[in-house]
Amino acid sequence: MGSKAPYQTKQMAQLLSYLRTVEGTHVTVADVCLHFKEQGITIGTTTVYRNLEKMVEQGLVAKYNVDGTSSACFEYLGAEEHCHKTSCFHCKCEKCGKLIHLHCEDVVKLEQHLMESHGFQMDPCRTVFYGICEDCRKSEAVHIKGK
């Protein structure tokens, strides 16, 4: 077999094309299906999930299971597998459920501190900070002012 390129279906090519347009963000299977539905493209949920899992195996896409209740999120890695080369963390909004990809030198310093001072090695790609996102805080502030 050797250097033979992986087999790619029409659906996988369409999915890859879409993922390139949202590089650096997280999408769920539902997000992907909604996008294709809006484009008038018929593609089943199972097909999307199966193709995303293949892309995870190929190293094109990262899969994040933040907690046991939320849907898995996927992120197109492109040519650089940045999550595996540099530390990345996630912030999850407890109001809207949005997952924010975070690259922050201060959090990297925390990661280093935990290792050097406490002998604890964090798994950056599985580390999640919970709170309220900026959009929800702004929305809440507008709602309170409106009363």
Helix or strand or coil: residue 74? strand
Q: Which amino acid is at 56?
A: V
Rounded CA separation 104/86 (Å): 10
pLDDT for 7: 57
Q: What are the structural domains, with CATH classification, of the chain?
A: 1-82 (1.10.10.10), 86-147 (3.30.1490.190)
Q: What is the pTM of this model?
A: 0.60
Q: Inform me whether the pLDDT recorded for 50 exceeds 50.
A: yes
pLDDT tens string 5-30: 455 688 888 999 999 998 877 888 99
Q: Write down the residue that tokens 């195996």 correspond to.
A: 57
Q: Using an 8 Å Cβ cutoff, are 133 and 91 in contact?
A: yes
Q: Inform me whether the pLDDT recorded for 122 exceeds 70.
A: yes
Q: Write down the residue that tokens 């790619």 correspond to.
A: 8
pLDDT tens string 81-119: 444 445 678 888 888 877 787 778 888 899 899 999 999
